[in-house]
């Protein structure tokens, strides 16, 4: 198979995957293997993913809400490809549950506690958007490696955003990169809700008609 035939074959693979993704309304067509492509992913691992900070999750658990702990607090499969972090229920899932855009966030790698380590992803206001808890039993550098790759991809995403605003041409990327980017932009919309203010908490606990005392 010559180079031209190889490029055509790759394009058809991603075209079929994209059509499957569209037809299923984002339920299939973007599994781990497809997102990897021939170039591979920037990072892959299992992790316990939480929406928001541990303190806020604990508050909700006290009221029996269970908010923040995704997938029932069980490990999920995460994959970084370019400017997105994809979260799958498991490595064999046919599509990610949602994608996190990597732009403008800050990364905090917490100290290890036994054989686990938490990495926090915060927005520009300092609010924790996501926490990722890693099991270090087989790789003690897993959390640190994840944090470093997150920072690298966030920096790239920020640079590309500036280039786009200035009208500069972006670097030519692989077919798998462009496919992953297009899927990521769609799955960003499926991110779980983050409750951030006291009003949000009141509303979750007592409903929209609750009276605010303070």
Residues 204, 193 contacting (CB under 8 angstroms): no
For residues 6-23, average pLDDT: 77
pLDDT given at position 96 = 98
Residues 89/76, Cβ–Cβ less than 8 Å: yes
- Is residue 61 over pLDDT 70? no
First to last CA, the chain: 71
27 secondary structure, DSSP code:
S
For residue 139, the SS3 value is coil
pLDDT surpassing 90 at residue 170: no
Say whether pTM exceeds 0.85: no
| Interacting residues of 64 by C-beta distance below 8 A, sequence separation 6+ | none
Contact status, residue 1 vs residue 9, Cβ threshold 8 Å: yes
Token pair belonging to 51: 């929406």
CB 151 within 8 A of CB 107: yes
Domain regions of the chain by residue span:
3-206
Over residues 65-94, the mean pLDDT reads 88
- What value does the mean pLDDT take over residues 53-64? 55
Q: Which of 27-41, 133-147, 198-212 has the highest mean pLDDT?
A: 133-147
Q: Which fold has domain 3-206?
A: PH-domain like (2.30.29)
Q: Which two tokens stand for residue 113?
A: 């506690």
pLDDT at 6: 46
Only one residue has tokens 């996501």, namely 130
How far is CA 143 from each of CA 18, 26, 49, 127, 213, rounded to the nearest angstrom?
Answer: 32, 29, 13, 20, 42
With H, G, I as helix, E, B as strand and everything else as coil, classify residue 15.
helix
**Cα-based distances in Å from 87 to 10, 35, 95:** 24, 12, 9
The pLDDT-based confidence of 130 (bands split at 50, 70, 90) is very high
Separation between Cα atoms, residue 114 and residue 36, nearest integer Å: 32
Q: Quick one: tokens of 111?
A: 């100290």
Q: In the prediction, which pLDDT does 65 show?
A: 47
């Amino acid at each position: 198979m010559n180079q031209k035939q190889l490029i055509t074959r790759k394009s058809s693979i991603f075209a079929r995957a994209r059509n499957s993704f569209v037809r299923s309304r984002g339920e299939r067509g973007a599994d781990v293997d497809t997102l990897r492509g021939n170039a591979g992913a920037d990072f892959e691992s299992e992790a316990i993913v939480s929406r928001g900070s541990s303190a806020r999750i604990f508050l909700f658990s006290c009221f029996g809400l269970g908010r923040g702990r995704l997938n029932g607090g069980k490990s999920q499969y995460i994959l970084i490809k370019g400017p997105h972090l994809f979260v799958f229920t498991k490595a064999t899932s046919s599509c990610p549950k949602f994608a996190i855009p990597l732009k403008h966030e800050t990364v905090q790698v917490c100290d290890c506690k036994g054989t686990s380590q938490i990495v926090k992803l915060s927005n520009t206001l300092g609010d924790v958007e996501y926490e990722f808890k890693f099991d270090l039993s087989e790789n003690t550098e897993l959390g640190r490696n994840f944090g470093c790759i997150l920072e690298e991809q966030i920096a790239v995403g920020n640079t590309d955003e500036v280039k786009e605003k200035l009208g500069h041409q972006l670097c030519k990327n692989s077919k798998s990169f462009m496919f992953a980017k297009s899927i990521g932009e769609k799955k960003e919309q499926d991110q779980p809700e983050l409750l951030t203010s006291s009003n949000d908490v009141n509303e979750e606990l007592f409903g929209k008609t609750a009276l605010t005392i303070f």
